[in-house]
Structure 1
Amino acid sequence: MLDNTSLSVVTPEILLLTMACVVAMIDLGVKTRLRDLTYWLTMATLAVVAWVTGSLAAADQTFYAFGNMVVSDPMGNWLKCFAALAMMVCLVYGRPYAGDRDMLRGGEMFTLSMFALLGMFVMISGSNFLVIYLGLELLTLCSYALVALRRDNAVATEAAMKYFVLGAMASGFLLYGLSMLYGATGSLDVGTVFKIINSGQVKHQVLVFGLVFIVAGLAFKLGAAPFHMWIPDVYQGAPTAVTVIIGSAPELAAFAIAIRLLVEGLLPLAVDWQQMLLILAIGSLLIGNLAAIAQTNLKRMLAYSTIGQMGFVLLGLLAGVVKGAGTADTALAANAYSSAMFYIVTYVLTTLASFGIILLLAREGFESEEISDLAGLNERSPLYAAIMSICMFSLAGVPPLVGFYAKLSVLQALVASGQAMYIGVAVFAVVMSLIGSFYYLRVVKVMYFDAPITATTVSAPADVRVVLSLNGALVLILGILPGGLMTLCAQAIIKTLAT
């Protein structure tokens, strides 16, 4: 661990903030329908930011700055790199859709996306309760605005209102929980809070009371049941170009603050928060997979799918400590948390391609949101049908795709804990996955065996076609050769836990 008070620790955040302001100013003079200059400046910025964060991650060093309020470590930097790349992919997929629906009258979509990414970066870097909360608020405020970007659309406006009200409530939960911990420990610093709690000098009841609110706030951000009520409505109501943004990169930031708060700050309370995560995970797997079966709207089905997938992430998070409060087996913890990190990264990769296909099929005046809209896609475009099939099979956990290995790594972490309860939960997760495979396979059946409802050929701009093909290929390649990404996640977690 190195102490570094220079601005170099927050170089990606400074670069992102500066360029977001510059792009917002330059956009005032852009008049083209698809905001070409704004788009390319945004993409260049995100590419540079991804390269900077990737370089910092590869350096394998941990720095603290600004009085330990900000941390730059391998896990955080890799998550930032993946988040920046995910945002680039979202904008590539979403620009044609947004242009057709008059959502690019100004460059707000691009600047808000950059400010949302800045919020994610602050969340990921935060080693202080207030810094984490400020990052969270920046992300959520930008997300509300993005959902309401189609101002003349009643459904989008309704979704934004629901998101705003429920999001404000969840932020209040998290802030109240953090304030309880501050009152009990007298510190906002994550590392200091860990030491004070570990000393055993603070009343356990007060800590658990605050912990309940913190876990509730985190569950909302991750979309875990029973705090999932916003996801189906927002996913369905938001413009699809925005749905792909709020359904991908923010999940990486939510995972990061779960690690920062629960593992780095509240590990001595692991026995308490593990029980809460266990209930959330079981509820998410049950509600997500069963409710998705009844859906006919593709976006809504993928929303319930997200809830079920987050159940697996929570299983990885709760499997890291089994010997009692604050006495984690480092190897076991690294195995469990790295499997959860691997799961969230690969889930985001698969989700991007899934929504990319939905965006591709949407035409001016037509939203390709119903499962029936995919009928006969194989006859219209074998390539895009194959990419969507790969995504559905991966989400279902079919080998040799990356979703299978992600599920396997989480289940292996549960079984490795040696606890009968966790092994039972692993069996339950497998059963829920089998049930969930029905609604994924239904999409494949519709694409390959139903008659097409339109003879319209599927066309896409060159950049969308290339990125979508690479996206689909990665889901397949990382399933066949998962070792590199799994090792990267494991090393990042080990280096982070070591500090």
Structure 2
Amino acid sequence: MTFTTPEIAWAPLAPLMIVLGAAAAAILVESFVRAPERRRAVQLLLSLVALLAAAGTAVVQWATLDGAGTVVLADMVTVDRQALAWQVLILVFGVLGTLLFASRTRAGEEAFTPLGSVAPGSTEETLARRKGFQVTEVFPLALFAVGGMMLFTAVTDLIFLFVALEVFSLPLYILVALARRRRFLSHEGALKYFLLGAFSSAILLFGAAFLYGATGTTAYAGISAGIATAAGVDPLILAGAVMVIVGLLFKIGAVPFHSWTPDAYQGAPTPVTAFMGAATKAAATAALLRVVYEAFYGLEWELSWLIWIVAIASMLLGTVVALVQTDLKRMLAYSSVAHAGFILVAFAGFPDGALSALPFYLASYGLATMGAFAVISQVREKAEDGAVLGEATRLGQWAGLGRRSPLLAGAMALFLLSFAGIPLTAGFIGKFVAFAAAVSEGAWPLVLIAVIASAAAAFFYVRLIVLMFLTDVPEGQEDAVEIEFSPYARIVVLVTAALVILLGIVPGPVLSAFENAGVLLLGAAG
């Protein structure tokens, strides 16, 4: 028996290999660097260098890409400008998330528990805190998550899609459970995220099995060919397509697959919430774009009902429920559900414009999300004895923040206005191009609902701005909130605020780059 050595083109996979290689190296750092402070510094440096190197490599690949792109790993991964655009975006979120992971309070407290493997409030956890233990494993976990997301944007085979899904989901399940404070909320959010995530993964796998049974392949191109040659609409193909899309809608956080979102957002360490809210939604949108345009493009008429119903339900439920929230993290969680609906608006009619509009939309939304949670991480409760506690997430605690910290309050107002889609912010341009893509295919009724939902959503964003700048601090509560200063978190706030303004005022170069990336190497829209 002869064995043929497989030939793999590793060069197109260089950004992905850098990140996953650094993640593997970071595991070795955990084993061999014993001093907690030194290990933390090494992990931070390794993560930042790897992410920046991967981003630089992806940009070079973009500039030197030969033709439309490259298909590697037996046609299971496609490296084209669409994939590279999403990968650079995810790497940017990875860099900002890593800085937030490393942020600390003035007292040296970080966002993560010192010992995540024990019960909350146990004697072991208390002793670990006193001895200065640190969970520096969060850095390699984040690298594995970023690597899985990068792969998620480029796969063109349903089985490999499932593998990429698990590579980035499993680290996130762990990270959500590692909050230093409110440990039971953290565990509850992680458990719900894990159980519902496993359920959605099973649905995606069932869909892949149905499609394999109907077409004899799990490759996107083969499925597209099977749809084109089928006599009429094969119920097995349609059921499989719906189940695969449902599995991806869970990661986007769209209704009715959103129930994990508020608990995971509220319970997770705030840096994890920021990273998860920005990067996961971007990766899931990229994967949904590719599977829809490369595999299910021929089912546009049959799948339109699903897109419309889920988009409308997400916009309405996310907006209405966010109006009555009193916890800031839960409010932003339901805001993310509404934004999932806005994302799906761009899919209506499967317009070609969505390929360039959605990367910009996710860039604007992701930057504002990272910045908003970076601000939240620095506004903290203060005990009567002067001890600084966890984040102040009750809306009433933000009254008068404009006087306490004009910088943080101003940045938060900017991010909220971007969420609302106010002109001169990146969010306005993002919504404009996403809605324009839907209008180009005649989906103006859906866009009209989206505009009304955006106007209604502006209420709970403006409500917080009024609290920060036009409401006095309640009597006797002047010392109940402490403004922390973390250099890493401040860097994230300043960078994201600058980019939100820049993309809102001068969006041309980035829009042009995404328009250049708005062509898939494979598929009916390519």
For normalisation by structure 2, the TM-score amounts to: 0.87
Alignment partners' CA distance in 1, 2:454 and 2:179: 36
2:142 matches 1:113: yes
Match of 1:185 in 2: 215
Secondary structure, aligned partner of 1:99: coil
Query: Does the CA contact (< 8 Å) of 2:355 and 2:518 recur in 1?
Result: yes
Alignment partners' CA distance in 2, 1:218 and 1:466: 32
2:35 matches 1:31: yes
Instruction: Map 1:71-90 to 2 at 5 A.
Output: 71-90=78-97
Query: Does the CA contact (< 8 Å) of 1:236 and 1:299 recur in 2?
Result: yes
CA RMSD of aligned residues (A): 2.0
Secondary structure, aligned partner of 1:493: coil
2:457 matches 1:436: yes
Match of 2:362 in 1: 344
Cα distance, 1:99 vs. partner?
2.1
Match of 1:55 in 2: 60
2:426 matches 1:402: yes
Question: What amino acid sits opposite 1:130 in the alignment?
Answer: I
Query: Does the CA contact (< 8 Å) of 1:9 and 1:72 recur in 2?
Result: yes
Query: Does the CA contact (< 8 Å) of 1:401 and 1:479 recur in 2?
Result: yes
Query: Does the CA contact (< 8 Å) of 1:316 and 1:337 recur in 2?
Result: no
Question: What amino acid sits opposite 2:23 in the alignment?
Answer: A
Alignment partners' CA distance in 2, 1:226 and 1:495: 29
Instruction: Map 1:211-222 to 2 at 5 A.
Output: 211-222=241-252
> What are the superposed Cα offsets for residues 247-299 of structure 1, whole Å, 9 maximum, x if unpaired?
11111110111012111111111112222011100000100001000001000
Instruction: Map 1:246-285 to 2 at 5 A.
Output: 246-285=276-315
Alignment partners' CA distance in 1, 2:112 and 2:169: 23
Match of 1:127 in 2: 156
Match of 1:356 in 2: 374
Secondary structure, aligned partner of 1:362: strand
1:243 pairs, out of 250, 256, 273, with 273
Cα distance, 1:225 vs. partner?
0.6
**Alpha-carbon distance change, 284 to 99 in structure 1, aligned in 2, over 3 angstroms:** same
Question: What amino acid sits opposite 2:296 in the alignment?
Answer: L
Alignment partners' CA distance in 2, 1:196 and 1:340: 28
Query: Does the CA contact (< 8 Å) of 2:111 and 2:179 recur in 1?
Result: no
> What are the superposed Cα offsets for residues 342-399 of structure 1, whole Å, 9 maximum, x if unpaired?
2122111111111110012236422221222222111111111111010001101111
> What are the superposed Cα offsets for residues 383-421 of structure 1, whole Å, 9 maximum, x if unpaired?
11111010001101111111111111222222222x3xx
Question: What amino acid sits opposite 1:229 in the alignment?
Answer: S
**Alpha-carbon distance change, 238 to 338 in structure 1, aligned in 2, over 3 angstroms:** same
Give unmatched runs, 5+ long, in structure 2: 1-6, 115-132, 382-387
Alignment partners' CA distance in 2, 1:288 and 1:278: 15
1:18 pairs, out of 14, 18, 21, with 21
Question: What amino acid sits opposite 2:35 in the alignment?
Answer: K
1:446 pairs, out of 467, 470, 473, with 467
Query: Does the CA contact (< 8 Å) of 2:261 and 2:333 recur in 1?
Result: yes
Give unmatched runs, 5+ long, in structure 1: 321-332
Query: Does the CA contact (< 8 Å) of 1:115 and 1:138 recur in 2?
Result: yes
Secondary structure, aligned partner of 2:472: coil
**Identity of counterpart residues, as a percentage?**
30
Cα distance, 1:130 vs. partner?
1.1
> What are the superposed Cα offsets for residues 189-225 of structure 1, whole Å, 9 maximum, x if unpaired?
1112112211225852111111221121121111001
For normalisation by structure 1, the TM-score amounts to: 0.92
Alignment partners' CA distance in 1, 2:357 and 2:264: 28
Match of 1:326 in 2: none
Q: Larger helix proportion, structure 1 or 2?
A: 1
**Max radius of gyration: which structure?**
2
Query: Does the CA contact (< 8 Å) of 1:220 and 1:227 recur in 2?
Result: yes
2:396 pairs, out of 350, 367, 372, with 372
> What are the superposed Cα offsets for residues 459-478 of structure 1, whole Å, 9 maximum, x if unpaired?
42334323321210111111
**Alpha-carbon distance change, 375 to 15 in structure 1, aligned in 2, over 3 angstroms:** same
Q: Is the deviation greater in 439-448 or in 450-459?
A: 450-459
**Alpha-carbon distance change, 6 to 192 in structure 1, aligned in 2, over 3 angstroms:** same
Report the number of matched residues: 481
Alignment partners' CA distance in 2, 1:473 and 1:140: 30
2:100 pairs, out of 93, 98, 120, with 93
Secondary structure, aligned partner of 2:71: strand
Alignment partners' CA distance in 1, 2:266 and 2:258: 14
2:488 matches 1:477: no
Cα distance, 1:86 vs. partner?
0.4
1:9 pairs, out of 3, 12, 17, with 12
Query: Does the CA contact (< 8 Å) of 1:315 and 1:414 recur in 2?
Result: yes
Alignment partners' CA distance in 2, 1:256 and 1:133: 14
